A and B are shown apart, each in its own frame.
Chain A
């Protein structure tokens, strides 16, 4: 219990500190921080729209947060979740379009498999490049983001767009590839809210990632590689294999965003759909202390902010929804510079030697 408290304490301090800095910025642009924060945080609590929309927003962030987490646990920084989820979403739509006439029993698993495989392959490339040539995964995943996004944009524009459609989006997927919205099962939650079965899949994936990393041999080997590669190699673990495996699992998780987006929300591939999910995933994993439970909490926080951003845009005088990105950036900076807080608390202690 005590360790849980300690694990929660630091992210909480980081979030609060970011809110203080953000509050100063809000004051500077001429608004009342309390009013702005009430809009930002309060709007998510309304039932059914606020809560439904927030949980929907949290779904892709849980997937990308888990993706970044698995990479981190292996000592890898997968900054390419953004590209992986685009490629995967397109692959999902491609299967849903190409085999549109199949019944759901076949098409749903096929589409899900396409999302997972496409994500795994797109992340596996930098994994192989790192294992085989030692080239840095950070650079390669950044490059593959641009390549992947351009590639699916090309495929959509030239091969899968309905003729004459002014919007850069694919033709719709078959009915058999749709997954149910949760409004179907929950009384009071209208089906226009796009929260769908992928949310439950995201929660289940948190459990799976926990089991995979902490309860299986593969997970143990990945974590050993991440915490001490030299010792892991000495202990007979093939680091190269772990790098490729971790990147593939990471990409598969990022790829599942495609299930939420294509099969549960828009029922087609929509170019440019991601609201920086891949990059927010970095913030989610870091703030969540690289633990699946932390990922859920952090994803919820960012989903609340994302939802509140729309209200801030509409109802506050000066502050815009950009404040969400700003807060996110400051939160990551504070989490990254953990030693800053240790330094500060050390300073405070010297000032007040009596109290600790």
Chain B
């Protein structure tokens, strides 16, 4: 057993948890303002593809050298913002069903990177390799954990955080107090776009050195699960992400180390299921209850 709990496992947990933390915190800002965010997956895909494509272009075509991953990161943030802006306009301005539009964004972003990559790099499967020296393996980790502290501060110690929370719980009351419900919701959704975009960028230019098809592999949904498991609160959400990151990290090392009494490996599929099962259990209120913001998913209609 001692071989499992090593420094390597800790680092690997942090690496796996980083994109989850970023996306889940983003989802928190959106959902605490009252906008469901099942589109985290799509926003992460947008960030991951844009980061890899722009970093490669900056490096190979513009010879930006060490600056290229930073340009890639910035582009990923803009891509996340762009997708979030579409989502925000559709959901807030045109009051579309948030779950339906979120699903649409995910389906759209499942195809768009392949289409663009096929056109620009003549390969719809992946973008070209970026040299190792031009990756940013550490910065997003720092950003992720910094974002946890910052989110806590913003959420609980600033007027904006108070407004955000009130808009998600009782939009009528916030409106009566002079808060622009839709403006706050736009901010919440856009912040989600920025953070999920960085989370996606970490996958392609931090952990890896290219964008490959459907690279997020459901991480946007695990982030959503962590957000629920963390009861829509920043620190708890981070802990949930670390827990889910740990289960994934364990699933990489466990098969070689621990055997079932029958002598077989522990099937990796069962470890993969852990976050999802935990989320269902906690949502049902078996281990402490997880209550979503009261106005979650309901477009706000100002009284005339």
Assess the A154–B111 pair: CB atoms within 8 A.
no
Contacting residues, chain A, for B225 (C-beta < 8 A): 139, 143
Assess the B114–A320 pair: CB atoms within 8 A.
yes
In whole angstroms, how far apart are the Cα atoms of A351 and B86 in the complex? 25
Contact flag A286-B280 (CB < 8 Å), given A25-B115, A322-B124, A333-B86: no
- Within 8 Å of chain B (Cβ to Cβ): is A142? yes
In whole angstroms, how far apart are the Cα atoms of A319 and B122 in the complex? 10
* Interface residues of B, dominant DSSP: helix
Of the residues B86, B111, B277, contact of A147 by C-beta under 8 Å: B277
* A 119-140 to B, binary, CB cutoff 8 A, 1 in contact else 0: 0000000000100110110111
Assess the A336–B100 pair: CB atoms within 8 A.
yes
* A 311-329 to B, binary, CB cutoff 8 A, 1 in contact else 0: 0000000111111111011
Among the stretches A199-207, A221-229, A337-345, the one at the interface with B is: A337-345
* Interface residues of A, dominant DSSP: helix
Contacting residues, chain B, for A20 (C-beta < 8 A): none
In whole angstroms, how far apart are the Cα atoms of A141 and B45 in the complex? 21
Of the residues A29, A138, A286, contact of B118 by C-beta under 8 Å: A29
In whole angstroms, how far apart are the Cα atoms of A333 and B269 in the complex? 34
- Within 8 Å of chain A (Cβ to Cβ): is B97? yes
Contacting residues, chain A, for B113 (C-beta < 8 A): 322
Assess the A325–B284 pair: CB atoms within 8 A.
no
Assess the A283–B107 pair: CB atoms within 8 A.
yes
Assess the B111–A30 pair: CB atoms within 8 A.
no
Assess the A79–B280 pair: CB atoms within 8 A.
no
Q: How large is the interface on B (under 10, 10 to 19, 20 to 34, 35 or more residues)?
A: 35 or more
Contacting residues, chain A, for B285 (C-beta < 8 A): 133, 135
- Within 8 Å of chain B (Cβ to Cβ): is A77? yes
Question: B34-57: which have CB < 8 Å to A?
Answer: 36, 38
Assess the A322–B280 pair: CB atoms within 8 A.
no
Total contacting residues, chain A, CB less than 8 A: 53
In whole angstroms, how far apart are the Cα atoms of A277 and B275 in the complex? 24
Contacting residues, chain A, for B112 (C-beta < 8 A): 322, 325-326, 329
Contacting residues, chain B, for A333 (C-beta < 8 A): 86, 90, 96, 101, 104-105, 108
- Within 8 Å of chain B (Cβ to Cβ): is A195? no
Of the residues B111, B124, B283, contact of A139 by C-beta under 8 Å: B283
Contacting residues, chain A, for B99 (C-beta < 8 A): 77, 79, 138
Closest to B282 in A: A135
* A 277-307 to B, binary, CB cutoff 8 A, 1 in contact else 0: 0011011001000000000000000000000
- Within 8 Å of chain A (Cβ to Cβ): is B254? no
Assess the A318–B119 pair: CB atoms within 8 A.
yes
In whole angstroms, how far apart are the Cα atoms of A276 and B224 in the complex? 20
- Within 8 Å of chain B (Cβ to Cβ): is A332? yes
- Within 8 Å of chain B (Cβ to Cβ): is A151? yes
In whole angstroms, how far apart are the Cα atoms of A29 and B103 in the complex? 25
Contacting residues, chain B, for A242 (C-beta < 8 A): none
Assess the B109–A329 pair: CB atoms within 8 A.
yes
In whole angstroms, how far apart are the Cα atoms of A31 and B264 in the complex? 53
- Within 8 Å of chain A (Cβ to Cβ): is B279? yes
Contacting residues, chain B, for A338 (C-beta < 8 A): 94, 96
Question: B79-108: which have CB < 8 Å to A?
Answer: 86, 90, 94-97, 99-101, 103-108
- Within 8 Å of chain B (Cβ to Cβ): is A150? yes
Contacting residues, chain A, for B114 (C-beta < 8 A): 320, 322, 325
Question: A128-185: which have CB < 8 Å to B?
Answer: 129, 132-133, 135-136, 138-140, 142-144, 146-147, 150-151, 153-154, 157-158
Contact flag A30-B279 (CB < 8 Å), given A329-B107, A333-B86: no
In whole angstroms, how far apart are the Cα atoms of A62 and B122 in the complex? 34
What 6 new A-B contacts, CB under 8 Å, besides A79-B103, A150-B270, A320-B124? A140-B280, A146-B273, A157-B269, A276-B110, A325-B110, A340-B96
**Could you write out 23 A-B pairs with CB less than 8 Å apart?**
A25-B115, A30-B119, A136-B283, A138-B99, A143-B221, A143-B280, A144-B276, A147-B276, A151-B273, A154-B267, A154-B270, A157-B267, A279-B103, A279-B106, A286-B100, A320-B119, A325-B112, A329-B106, A333-B104, A335-B100, A336-B96, A337-B101, A340-B96
Give 3 closest A-B pairs by Cβ, nearest first: A329-B108, A325-B111, A29-B119
Q: Which positions in A face B, CB cutoff 8 Å?
A: 25, 28-31, 77, 79, 129, 132-133, 135-136, 138-140, 142-144, 146-147, 150-151, 153-154, 157-158, 276, 279-280, 282-283, 286, 318-326, 328-330, 332-333, 335-340, 343
